[in-house]
Each structure stands twice: as structure tokens, then as C-alpha cells.
């Protein structure tokens, strides 16, 4: 998948927004940059379907052999689907973070947070500045 149409949060989540049945659905995952930085992944906690999430708040966790990191909701809404195959196949995050590595799909109830997300170029610049 091309990352050109994705949006990125400062906390390294990616978002793809699509229209479905008159609603905006955000597919959310963790950027390849963050996955590479975490390295050896051992555990992933997915958000529960039906959970109300708020942009900027933790809605899951990912753990590597060296760190535990929160996964932050980049949008506000309701989790309508979680990638339940992912916790048993964390290698798919390394293989393709932007196709099979999605974490959850969120039905957006307030799209104001979308304005605070970065495009691919902005995200890449931020990652370079972080070192």
C-alpha cells in the first residue's frame, strides 16, 4: 500500500480515512518507523470492539523485548473492528505495517483531530529530526 494517502500522528500511529455507509471509518496502525524502533515485538493489546476512544488517549499497548509503548487513538470515535489475527502474528507488522498490520477500525464521531495529523512528508521530517 502506498503511504501517500495516509495521515500520521506525532505518536507514530498511521490513519487511513474512508467513507462507508455515510460514516468516516479510520483504519489505524503503527508506523513502520515505530515498529523498526521497537524491534523484537512480543505482545500486542488490541482495543475492544465497541470501545469509545478519544484522540490522543491510549487505546492499546505494544510490547517489545526492550520497551512497552502505548498505542494512542489518533481520532475520536467507536472501535468497530480490531485486527484479531495480529497478536498471534506480530511478524506481519514488520512485513507490511500498512496492509496487514492495521490495529483497529474506528468509526469517527468527531473529525476535528484529523486536522492535527501529518501527511507523509511531515511525518518523515519529524522522524528525521528525532534521529
Q: Domains in the chain, ordered, with CATH?
A: 6-111 (2.40.50.100)
Q: Convert the pLDDT of each residue in 42-82 to its tens digit.
A: 999 999 999 999 999 999 999 999 889 999 999 999 999 99
> What is the dihedral sign for C-alpha 99, 122, 60, 17?
negative
Report field, pTM of the whole predicted structure over 0.95: no
Q: How many helices (H) and strands (E) does the chain have?
A: 3, 9
Amino acid at each position: 500500500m502506498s503511504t501517500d494517502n495516509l495521515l500520521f500522528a506525532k505518536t507514530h500511529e498511521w490513519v487511513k480515512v474512508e467513507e462507508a455507509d455515510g460514516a468516516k471509518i479510520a483504519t489505524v496502525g503503527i508506523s513502520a518507523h515505530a515498529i523498526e524502533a521497537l524491534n523484537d515485538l512480543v505482545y500486542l493489546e488490541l482495543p475492544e470492539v465497541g470501545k469509545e476512544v478519544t484522540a490522543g488517549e491510549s487505546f492499546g499497548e505494544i510490547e517489545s523485548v526492550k520497551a512497552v509503548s502505548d498505542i494512542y487513538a489518533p481520532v475520536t470515535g467507536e472501535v468497530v473492528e480490531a485486527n484479531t489475527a495480529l497478536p498471534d502474528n506480530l511478524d506481519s507488522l514488520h512485513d507490511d505495517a500498512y496492509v496487514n498490520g492495521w490495529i483497529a477500525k474506528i468509526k469517527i464521531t468527531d473529525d476535528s483531530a484529523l486536522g492535527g495529523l501529518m501527511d507523509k512528508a511531515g511525518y518523515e521530517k519529524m522522524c528525521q529530526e528525532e534521529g
